[in-house]
Amino acid sequence: MAQLSCITRLLPTTSLESRRIFAAGICRPSASSFGLYRGVKTAATPAEEPSTEENNRLEEEARIQKIRDISGLRPSHRNIAHHIVPMEEKTMPIHYTVRYNKRMFGRYGYASGVSPSLCWPTKQELDDKKEYERVAYPYTILEVAKREKLKKEEKERILFERDAKVAANVESMQKLKEEYLHKKEIKRQEAEAAQAFRTRLIEEVRLHFNYTVNERDEQFKLELKERAKQLREKGKQEKKLQKKEKLALDKAARFEEQKRRLKEAEEAMKLSKQSAKDD
């Protein structure tokens, strides 16, 4: 089993994360344990001291391996490429942060030399997280579900009202369109009637003079105005007669209606008298 060495002294830093890592004496593998985790031979004990030939062979293999390495990568980057812990010793301030050590343990496990206890939050962090959740999410799951249901219902109500408004606007637009077309048709008919009236006047005036007359002639214009006045008066007289005829017809209809009602009333009285005599 790898020999573990505990770091119990506090590093010269005021970082809370660094205190968390080193103040409590987190255990990390010793230099020899790194060799075991990474599959590298550890330093030999005095009883297992390698021979000179073995040392020469190892040095030669290291020299050949260095010659073969043409990537130009730094040792830490080369270790990352081979899924090995980048650095055995911590040399930068970021190496003493909780976040970095968590990441190292997540990637390399126990070979990273990080204690698994570092992955759990402290009591202060748990209290801060609870306080944050209490302030940020003050409602229970049932309350949140109820609020979301009310929001959904409100949204559906707004959409329904919008659809109803759009439908009403479409119907109103259709009515306005029909009214516009009706007015347009009336104007067209009035224009055609006016044109027909003018054409009729011109023909009558031409027949009056019994020869072709220039329409811009003053005498023609005067005759045209006079004939138009006569036709208008004639039209007014016809309208008055039609109105009188209509009033007369309405009066006659009302008179007939009154006669019918009187007759029905008389018949009803006779029937009531007859029924009284029978009794």
Of the pLDDT bands very low, low, confident and very high (cuts 50, 70, 90), residue 202 is confident
| 6 DSSP assignment | E
pLDDT surpassing 60 at residue 29 = no
pLDDT in tens, 159-200: 999 999 999 999 999 999 999 999 999 999 989 988 887 787
How far apart, in Å, are the Cα atoms of 32 and each of 38, 43, 75, 92, 202?
10, 7, 19, 22, 126
- Look at residues 51, 54, 35, 55 and name the one whose alpha carbon lies nearest to residue 43: 35
Would you state the pLDDT for residue 45?
47
Predicted confidence band at 158 (pLDDT cuts at 50, 70, 90)? very high
- pTM (2 d.p.): 0.34
Q: What was the pLDDT predicted at 10?
A: 36
Query: Over 60: is that where the pLDDT of 219 sits?
Result: yes
Q: What would the two tokens of residue 93 be?
A: 């301030």
Q: Name the token pair of 25.
A: 């004496």
- The whole-number pLDDT of residue 118 equals 87
pLDDT digits (tens, 9 = 90+) for 125-152: 999 999 999 999 898 899 999 999 999 9
Lowest model confidence (mean pLDDT) among 107-111, 204-208, 229-233: 204-208
Residue 105: CB atoms within 10 Å:
18
Give kind and range of the element (H or E) at residue 27.
strand 27-29
CB 231 within 8 A of CB 197: yes
What is the average per-residue pLDDT within 245-273?
86
**Percent of the chain's residues with pLDDT above 90:** 25
